[in-house]
């Protein structure tokens, strides 16, 4: 077969093959097969030297024509495939404005805030007003005016984060409980009767364990007025327990000691998981300890601007994290502030 016939056959084969090319990768392979440095046309052109002298011009001219035709066909196919790929990409990214919008992912309310919101709702039903107080406090509000003795262990650096301890001025610290808010509100409103709820963060210089954190939350409740008794306190606690843990929840008070209340008590609720029969959560005692409470100490009333011979009151301080741990069987307080989104989502 003459070289011209071979060029004719090669041209037909290349054009037929090019018609079936569907993407740029296949087009690259086609170019390498037919017009590349090692392609069929290149190998065929190397045989021009073996032709008789009179045949070489025509054969060489025909080789150039075939190369130009195949190069042009390649360029046209490349442009077509690139345009098709771009159109496909644009179609995939096209936004249909008639379609419903995508609902954005929303965050979750932290379990501590969930409990605090429920606490605020329950005490709000009993007429308590939510009030905020500073987290950075004076030593007087945090200790002295709440009847803490000068040598009380809680004043020690091992328990308290002191921000400033000047020689001649008042010490400044991160509050160790929400009780300083009592003193601020009483001094602002005395001698008016009051019922307030003080939620917020507190800080203690403690080792972080499964049961203790250096930062956690408390909520303080305080009622001051005429003829307030321990019975009023227990009634308030009973209502709170039933609303928080469910109907039938019982309350008991055990004698305790706090500098700012007299008498003082620890509040327990009947185990809502076992109905008081005893289980792992309540350590088979049938009761769960919630927090401390008591009647406001006469000295604290006097420091707050109330005459203890005319006014009385009750107060208590509970931890929402502890309430949540008992309610949901959480055994490690560090989970609340560990930053693991899965923990937050569990209660979302």
pLDDT band at 157 (very low <50, low <70, confident <90, very high): low
> What pLDDT is recorded for position 297?
97
- What phi and psi values does residue 94 have, to the nearest 5 degrees? -65, 135
Q: Report the candidate in 291, 300, 296 with the shortest Cα–Cα distance to residue 184.
A: 300
Query: How do the residues of the chain divide into helix, strand and coil, expressed in percent and rounded to 5?
Result: 45, 20, 35
Please give the share of the chain, as a percent, with pLDDT higher than 90: 45
Written in H, E and C, the secondary structure of 40-90 is HHHHHHHHHHHCCCCCHHHHHHHHHHHHHHHHHHHHHHHHHHHHHHHHHHH
Average pLDDT over every residue of 73-90: 84
What's the mean pLDDT when you consider all of the chain?
A: 88
Q: Which tokens hold the place of 137?
A: 């406090």
Give the model's pLDDT for residue 149: 86
Q: Which residues pair with 266 in a beta bridge?
A: 254, 292
- Residue 274's SS3 state is coil
Q: How many CA atoms lie within 13 A of 320 on its CB side?
A: 25
- Mean pLDDT, residues 285-306 taken together: 93
Tokens for 304, please give them.
């707050």
Q: Is the pLDDT of residue 230 over 90?
A: yes
DSSP SS3 for 170: coil
- 52-61, 97-106, 192-201, 290-299: which range is least confident on average? 52-61
- Is there a contact between 8 and 63 (Cβ–Cβ < 8 Å)? no
Query: Between 274 and 332, whose confidence is greater?
Result: 332
Strand 194-203 with 129-130, pairing: parallel
Phi-psi region of 294 (alpha: psi -120 to 50; beta: other; left: phi over 0): left
Nearest to 13 by CA among 68, 62, 70: 70
| Phi (first) and psi of residue 36, to 5 degrees | -80, 180
Specify the pLDDT at position 25: 86
Tell me which DSSP letter residue 10 carries.
Answer: H
What pLDDT digit, counting tens, does each position of 30-46 carry? Answer: 888 878 887 787 787 77
**Which DSSP category does 174 fall into?**
E
Q: How many CB atoms lie within 10 A of CB 131?
A: 19
Cα(120)–Cα(27) distance, integer angstroms: 71
Q: What count of Cα atoms within 13 Å lies in the side-chain half-sphere of residue 296?
A: 36
| pLDDT of 93 above 90 | no
Q: If you ran DSSP here, which 8-state letter would residue 119 be given? A: H
262 marked as part of a ligand binding site: yes
Confidence of residue 216 (pLDDT cuts 50, 70, 90): very high
The model's pLDDT over 164-214, given as tens digits with 9 standing for 90+, comes to 877 777 889 999 999 999 999 999 999 999 999 999 999 998 888 888 889
Parallel, antiparallel, or unpaired: how do β-strands 312-318 and 287-296 relate? antiparallel
Q: CA 73, 79, 83, 84: dihedral to nearest 10 degrees? A: 30
Q: What is the pLDDT of residues 122-146, one digit of tens each?
A: 999 999 999 999 999 999 999 999 9
What CA–CA distances, in Å, run from 175 to 163, 172, 259?
Answer: 10, 9, 16
- pLDDT tens, residue by residue, 258-286: 999 999 999 998 887 776 677 776 777 88
Strands 215-225 and 194-203: antiparallel
pTM tops 0.85, yes or no: no
């Amino acid at each position: 077969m003459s070289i011209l016939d071979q060029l004719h056959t090669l041209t037909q084969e290349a054009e037929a093959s090019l018609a079936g090319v569907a993407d740029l990768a296949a087009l690259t392979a086609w170019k390498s097969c037919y017009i590349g440095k090692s392609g069929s046309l290149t190998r065929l052109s190397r045989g021009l030297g073996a032709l008789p002298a009179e045949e070489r011009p025509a054969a060489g001219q025909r080789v150039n024509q075939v190369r130009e035709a195949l190069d042009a066909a390649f360029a046209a196919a490349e442009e077509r495939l690139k345009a098709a790929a771009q159109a496909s990409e644009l179609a995939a990214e096209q936004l249909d404005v008639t379609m419903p919008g995508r609902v954005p992912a929303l965050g979750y309310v932290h379990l501590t805030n969930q409990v605090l919101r429920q606490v605020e709702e329950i005490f709000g039903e009993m007429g308590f007003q939510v009030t905020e107080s500073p987290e950075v406090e004076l030593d007087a509000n945090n200790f002295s005016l709440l009847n803490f003795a000068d040598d009380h262990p809680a004043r020690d650096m091992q328990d308290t984060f002191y921000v400033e301890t000047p020689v001649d001025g008042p010490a400044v610290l991160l509050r160790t409980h929400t009780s300083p808010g009592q003193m601020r509100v009483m001094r602002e409103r005395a001698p008016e009767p009051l019922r307030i709820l003080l939620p917020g963060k507190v800080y203690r210089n403690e080792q972080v364990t499964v049961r203790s954190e250096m930062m956690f939350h408390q909520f303080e409740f305080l009622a001051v007025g005429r003829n307030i008794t321990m019975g009023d306190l227990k009634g308030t606690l009973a209502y709170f327990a039933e609303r928080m843990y469910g109907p039938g929840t019982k309350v008991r008070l055990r004698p305790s000691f706090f500098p700012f209340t007299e008498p003082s008590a620890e509040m327990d609720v009947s185990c809502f998981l076992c109905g008081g029969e005893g289980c792992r959560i309540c350590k088979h005692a049938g009761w769960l300890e919630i927090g401390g409470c008591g009647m406001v100490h006469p000295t604290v009333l006097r420091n707050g601007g109330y005459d203890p011979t005319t006014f009385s009151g009750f107060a208590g301080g509970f931890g929402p994290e502890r309430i949540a741990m008992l309610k949901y069987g959480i055994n490690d307080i560090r989970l609340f502030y560990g930053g693991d989104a899965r923990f937050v989502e569990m209660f979302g």
